[in-house]
Every structure is written in structure tokens, then in C-alpha cells.
Structure 1
Amino acid sequence: MMDMAGLREQHKQISLTARQLAQATSDTTAPQSVAALRWSLARQLIAHLALEDRILYPKMQRSANPLARKTALQLQGETGALAEGFTRYMAAWSDDRIAREWPAFCAETQAILATLTQRVDRENRTLYPLADEHQGAGPPVARAG
């Protein structure tokens, strides 16, 4: 069985860290230390995406439900672009550059967090309910834990 509760908990933690980072970058005139928040979010995303890629998406793509297969395929395809964009963002902004270009960093951070938040919300609204329906169908899959 897929550990949907665990995946949802990861979404909550990702969303919480994203909100904290958004708050820290909401004032473009007062630079803040955001390194710990950025790296915490990066670690959370890496772990979460790995579980989805290894367990959730393959299971959903084997679903008898065509909507589940289509949704999983579409979202998994989009995941690469999201992960790539976040990786570029993390690499582009050193602590020194953040301090020098705080307003630009804030703008880019707010944009990437908006994209991430929309993605989490979309998975919560579309993919996860389909996964819940799929839980009883087919052979069990290793737990995501």
C-alpha cells in the first residue's frame, strides 16, 4: 500500500517551510538570513520527489482508471521542470549574492514558491484523491516510509 498519509504530511511540511521562506522574503528592504530555510526546503523536496517518483507515479500509471494514469503521467512530466527550476534557483543564489541582491532574490524566491505552492495544491486536489481511490486496487506497493 502507498503511504498517502506520509506523502500528505510531507506536503504539509513543504508548505510550512515555503510559507516561512515567503514570509522571510516578503520585505525586500530588510535582508534576512534564509540559508537554513532554503536548505530545509531543498531537503524536503528531494525526499518527497524521490518517493513520488519511486512509488506513487509508477503505481498510478498502472491504474485501471484512465484519469489516474493520465493525471499521473502529466504531473510526473511537469515534475522534472519544477525540480530543474528549483535546482537552478538553489545554485544561482549563494549567501553572498543573496546579501548583495536581496530585492532580486526576494522576487525570484516568491516566484518559485508560488509555483511550488500551486503544484502541491494541484497534487492535493487531483492526484492524491485518485491515489486514495486506487489504494484498494491491484497488488500492494512498498510503503513510502
Structure 2
Amino acid sequence: MNIDKFKAQHIAILDGIARLREATQGGIVQNAAHIAAHIIKLSSTVKLHLKVEDSVLYPGLASDANPRLARLGERYQREMDGIAGAYFEFANRWNLADRVEANPEGFRADANRVLRALFERMKREDTEFYPAIEAAHPPA
């Protein structure tokens, strides 16, 4: 199972999180339009990544001959539901500059909580989940 596309999408998502962090550190109110635009762009990448995971990766693992890998895929898919829901609530709440400007500290707190959870999940996938997949199905 080739997971290079998933790894590349992780890099794009992590880059988007880093860009949001930079814009926030430069001043939330001053960069509200930039922050909202980054959220919209990041959301499209996250949405694509989740769609491909749900349509290709998780179904492939569910039917894998290795029961440990199938269970691991099921666990990761279940866990992602809550993280994805929280992310998309965050994105819908803060994808307009006027909302970010009106409540910069609310945005900061929400971003810290939601983006940290997303970041930590992707790091866990990179260090635990993807290596397990590649160990069971080495790239050609």
C-alpha cells in the first residue's frame, strides 16, 4: 500500500498550520483577513485528505489480511471523527475576517486547542500509523 500521497498531504497541512501560527503571531486583528484566508485554504487540504483516507486508506486496511493493522486503521478512523468535527467547527467559526477581528482572544484559544489536536494527531500518524502500514506493506 503506497501512502506517499498521505504523507505529502500531511506536509501541506502542517505547513498550513505553521502559516496560521505566523499570521497569528504577527497580530490577530492586523492579520485577520490573512488568517481567514489561510483557514479556508487549510480546510480544503484537510477535507481532501480526510476524503481520500475515508475512501481509500481505511477501507483498504479494513480488508487487510493483517488483523492488527485492520484494528489499528479502525481505531485511527474512529479517533479522527472527533478531531475532524472539532476542526471543521473551528474553520466555520473563524473563516471570516470580521469574526476573527471581533474576538481575537477567542480565536487564539480555539486555534491553540483545535490546531494542537490536529497537529498531534498527524504526528502520531507519521510516527506510529504510517510506519505500521509500511512495515506490513513495504513500498515497492
The reply to whether TM is greater than 0.5 is: yes
Secondary structure of 1:63's counterpart equals coil
Equivalence for 2:3: 4
1:47 and 1:87 map into 2 onto residues whose CA distance is: 13
2:130 and 2:38 map into 1 onto residues whose CA distance is: 26
For the Cα contact (< 8 Å) 1:26–1:106, is it kept in 2?
no
Equivalence for 2:68: 67
Secondary structure of 2:64's counterpart equals coil
The share of aligned pairs that are identical, in percent, is 26
Shift of 1:66: 2.5
How many residues align? The count is 135
Shift of 1:134: 3.5
- 1:97 to 1:70, Cα distance in 2 relative to 1, 3 A: same
Secondary structure of 2:30's counterpart equals coil
- 1:47 to 1:79, Cα distance in 2 relative to 1, 3 A: same
For the Cα contact (< 8 Å) 1:14–1:45, is it kept in 2?
yes
For the Cα contact (< 8 Å) 1:14–1:44, is it kept in 2?
yes
Equivalence for 1:90: 91
TM-score, with normalisation over the residues of structure 2? 0.86
Equivalence for 1:104: 106
| Structure 1 gap segments, 5+ residues each | 137-145
Equivalence for 2:24: 25
For the aligned residue pairs, the C-alpha RMSD in angstroms reads 1.8
Q: Does 1:131 align with 2:133?
A: yes
Shift of 1:23: 2.1
Secondary structure of 1:64's counterpart equals coil
- Post-superposition Cα deviations, 1:45-78, rounded to whole Å, max 9, x if no partner, equal 0000001111111111222223211211111011
Secondary structure of 2:68's counterpart equals helix
Equivalence for 1:15: 14
- Post-superposition Cα deviations, 1:81-109, rounded to whole Å, max 9, x if no partner, equal 11211111122223212111112211211
| Structure 2 gap segments, 5+ residues each | none
Deviates more, 1:71-80 or 1:61-70: 61-70
1:109-128 to structure 2, matched below 5 A, reads 109-128=111-130
TM-score, with normalisation over the residues of structure 1? 0.84
